[in-house]
Amino acid sequence: MKLKKSVSGLVTLVLLGSALAACGSNNNNASSPSASGSASPSSSASASPSGSNSKQEIVMNYRADPPALDVSIAESSASFTILGAISEGLYRLDKDLQPQPALADGMPEISADGLTYTIKLKQGLTWADGSPLTAKDFVYSYQRTLDPATKASYAFMVAWIKGGENLMNAKKPEEVEKYKKELGVEAKDDTTLVITLENPVPFFTSQLAFLNFYPQNEKFVSAQGEKSGADADKVLGAGPFKLTKWDHEQQLVLEKNDKYWDAANVKLNKVTLNIVKDPTTGVNLYKTGATDYADVKGDFLKEYEGKPDLAVKKELTTGYLNFQQTKVPAFANAKVRQAFSMAVDREGLVNLVLQNGSIPSTGIVPVGNLDGNGKQFREVVGDTEVAFDAAKAKSLLAEGLAESGQTLPKNLSIIGDDTETGKKVLEYLVSQWSTNLGVNVTAEPLPHANRLDRELGKNYNIVNTLWGADYNDPMTWLDMFIKGSPFNTQDWNNDEYTTLIKGAQKELDLAKRAEMLANAEKLLLSEAAVSPMYFRSSTFLVNPKLKDLILPPYGPDFELKWAHVE
């Protein structure tokens, strides 16, 4: 009896012990699991953030752990957001999306052919560790991003620099070295950087504000090896903040960088970012005052309607449909596509389904996007999309089918993401086509990766998809639909359109270029080659006392430099 008892006691111990032993290597860390819980110096997270006003400290929810805080490797908006706070490029976009000189001393000197950018750096710049920051750090950064060994998935952005394509595609080490030397970026002296482009890029100055064009400290980065950007002590920036703590999947802490050139205008002393993946939990935390910033969606939105906490971010993101013309020959007829596009009431879509401040589309280029000539594209071009008209849609469909001699296949389907909203959008579209057009379409929601695979593989009838601007110029939208573009998955081939876009790519006169792009969009939409649905917005809860937190429409999630607590 006694023996049996002690044996079973032992069994329990062993079982628990084995579970513990499985993570035995954790003990290398200074703190045991329970100790890390009570000893973590995160009292600010549990204290109400509003209580720390005078200290200029804020707490924010963040939806994901940033993958890597390395300028070359980073490709997600999470990395971009954090790196934007701890580092900086030659320029920084202000709240109106205008590039303001950051590490650069002034605006670039651009050659007449639009290819060569000569940029003066500020005097006496330093990295957060106090070491000097020079033009060479930019040269190193661009070379490293394009070096195939770095495996940078966004390298193609930097490949606009002359010789970039060659370097990115280099196979042998000696080729890499050769192309690195030939790359069109040069440090004339410590404070003069000269960048030569392959083709003129009218919005290149704004682009220099983006992550891919940040400098990197060669000594520091190469000392980290493959671990560059993996932990708080493996990141070095020259931005308004320093990363002082990074507890993966849990918390990041940013503290003011006193060595930053514009430290006088950085008011926040500390920003604590807690990783919160569930939006409901995020709102719960906001309600208890445990955070100053949270994502908010769906039913919670109604609760906050009209309150000062609610912030709407109008994104440079368009939700649209593509009609595959090879798989469904009827879609090769413009009238049939127009009918499908015209049969959807977009007001209903944003008011009944999306309910997040998104607005009905009036073209493919969203509201807020510039036209490449300093004006708002939508204001200049106006509405290019046909308005909702159920009766006209029905007659157009009949006309188009008769004209082309095609019929619609019986099992027409639409694919899209299987997110909560994604599924509702598909259902809405299906019901619109059924009521207004008398056409039965099956909704086929798919996991994101699967949807993308089928879309790019042109294996669909209709696809509900999204595109977000990579840069603030109509080209990021319009070059997708030229002949042979991998994103022209609907097989719409229009020579006039392709000529317009290719011409605009070479055009140096910005006014002329903007006009060509405007004409291209008009053509794209009059043909209903794509069927835009909405310009996306997203919604956040922001503590009304937190001022000047910028929510940029593309790129990073938020811009912290000018934020402060009132």
Partner 1 sequence: MLKYALRRFFYMLVTLWVIITLTFFLMKLLPGNPFGEGAAKLTPENLQILREQYGLDKPVWQQYLKYMGNVLQGDLGISYQYPTRSVVSVIQHSFKASLELGLESLVFAILIGLLLGIYAALRHNKVGDYTAMLIAIIGISVPSFVVGPLLSYFVGVKWGILPPGLWTGPEHRILPALALSFGTIAILARMMRASMLDVANQDYIKTAKSKGLSSGKIINSHMIRNAILPVITILGPIAVNVVTGTLVVERIFAVPGLGSQFVSSIVSNDYTMITGLTLFYAAILIIVLFITDIAYGLVDPRIRLGKGR
* Separation of first and last alpha carbons in the chain: 71
Which residue number, 250 or 421, has a Cβ lying nearer to partner 1?
Answer: 250
Q: Find the shortest distance in angstroms from Cβ 100 to partner 1.
A: 26
Sign of the Cα torsion 226, 227, 230, 232 reads negative
Q: Does 449 bind partner 1 (CB under 8 A)?
A: yes
Neighbour order of strands in the sheet with 57-62: 57-62, 270-275, 251-256, 241-247
- In angstroms, what is the minimal distance from the CB of 159 to partner 1? 9
Q: Is residue 250 within the footprint of partner 1 (CB under 8 A)?
A: yes
Per CB under 8 A, does 269 bind partner 1?
Answer: no
- Which span (92-100, 181-189, 269-277, 319-327) binds partner 1, by CB under 8 A? 269-277
Residue 63 CB, shortest distance to partner 1, in Å, is 10
Residues 2-61 that bind partner 1 (CB under 8 A): 4-5, 7-12, 14-16, 18-20, 22-23, 25-26, 33-34, 36-38, 40, 42-43, 45-46
DSSP string, 431-456: HHHHHHH----EEEEE-HHHHHHHHH
With CB under 8 A as the contact rule, the residue among 121, 167, 254, 290 that binds partner 1 is 290
Pick 221 or 439: Cβ nearer partner 1: 221
Dihedral (Cα; 199, 204, 205, 208), 10-degree rounding: -120
Nearer to partner 1, 188 or 448 (CB): 448
Please select the residue that binds partner 1; options are 223, 402, 456, 511, rule is CB under 8 A: 456
Q: Which is nearer to partner 1, 231 or 389 (CB)?
A: 231
* Residue 420 found at the interface with partner 1 (CB under 8 A): no
Residue type, 477: W
Q: Tell me how far, at minimum, the Cβ of 448 lies from partner 1, in Å.
A: 7
Spatial separation of the C-alpha atoms in residues 75 and 92, rounded to whole Å: 18
Binding-site size for partner 1 (CB under 8 A) equals 78
Listed in sequence order, the DSSP H helices in 172-326 are: 173-182, 204-207, 218-224, 279-287, 299-304
- Residue from the set 249, 305, 379, 420 that interacts with partner 1 by CB under 8 A: 249
Residue 370 has phi, psi (to 5 degrees) of: -75, 165
Question: Segment 109-168, which members bind partner 1 (CB under 8 A)?
Answer: 148, 151, 153-156, 168
Is 151 or 172 the residue whose CB approaches partner 1 more closely?
Answer: 151
Q: Pairing state of beta strands 241-247 and 251-256? A: antiparallel
User: Quick one: which of 284, 218, 176 has its CA closest to 72?
Assistant: 218
User: Minimal distance in Å, beta carbon 273 to partner 1?
Assistant: 12
| DSSP H helical ranges for 135-278 | 135-146, 155-158, 164-168, 173-182, 204-207, 218-224
- Which is nearer to partner 1, 73 or 128 (by Cβ)? 73
Task: Restricting to residues 380-409, name those near partner 1 by CB under 8 A.
Answer: none
Q: Which two tokens stand for residue 250?
A: 């849990």
Q: Which of residues 60-119 bind partner 1 (CB under 8 A)?
A: 65, 67-68, 70, 73, 75-77
For residue 227, state whether it binds partner 1 (rule: CB under 8 A): yes
Quick one: which of 134, 205, 228, 318 contacts partner 1 (CB under 8 A)? 228
Instruction: Specify the stretch interacting with partner 1 by CB under 8 A; choose among 192-200, 310-318, 451-459, 508-516.
Output: 451-459
Asked if residue 288 binds partner 1 (CB under 8 A), the reply is: yes
Angle between helices 420-437 and 390-404 (to 10 degrees): 80
Among residues 8 and 435, whose Cβ is nearest to partner 1? 8
**φ/ψ of residue 27, rounded to 5:** -65, -10
484 binds partner 1 (CB under 8 A): no
| 103 close to 89: Cβ distance less than 8 angstroms | yes
Are residues 117 and 109 in contact, defined by beta-carbon separation less than 8 angstroms?
yes
